[in-house]
Copies of this chain bind each other. A is one copy, B any other.
Amino acid sequence: MSDVKGNGLPSTAVFQLGTLGAVAESRFARAVEGLGLKPKHAGLMTALAAVAAESQQELAARLGVAPSLVVTLADQLEALGAVQRTRDVNDRRRQVLTLTEVGRALLARCEAVARALDEELLADLTPRQRAALAEALGVLTGR
């Protein structure tokens, strides 16, 4: 009896999210390495696509990483032609990062990859369970 609920650490959301997150990240990493990207690159590009003209410091805070890491990631994305650095005219200390056409294309391919992985990953869920999961994850990530 009692395999249903409240059973040990593995039944907590924190543990399960940690586990699944590691799997998801690892698979995504392998899937996009052919594009010369790592997950954090996709994260940065996503942030750039979402809000325009943020300082790298704000981006770092949003991504939860050190500002110096944003520099490195931006360097690599710039080398791929995915991102462009421009000095902010109003504040010449700031660098404005903008997605290029190449960047947008790369991001689109990342999305395609992610959707394909979703199919694999969520294969055992019923459509109803899938929708419920999407709803909950949407709330947790703040949409």
The count of residues in chain A whose C-beta lies closer than 8 Å to any C-beta of chain B is: 54
Copies in the complex: 2
| B18 with A25: CB separation less than 8 A | yes
The contact of A14 among B9, B17, B114, B143, by CB within 8 Å, is B114
A39 beta carbon closer than 8 Å to chain B = yes
What residues make up the interface of A, taking CB atoms closer than 8 Å to B?
3, 5, 8-28, 39, 42-43, 46, 49-50, 64, 107, 110-111, 114-115, 117-118, 121-122, 124-125, 129-130, 132-141, 143
| B140 with A20: CB separation less than 8 A | yes
SS of A interface (majority): helix
| A129 with B135: CB separation less than 8 A | yes
Q: Which residues of B contact A24 (CB under 8 A)?
A: 13-15, 17-18, 21
Given A132-B133, A132-B135, A139-B129, A39 and B18 contact (CB-CB distance below 8 Å): yes
The contact of A22 among B21, B27, B46, B129, by CB within 8 Å, is B21
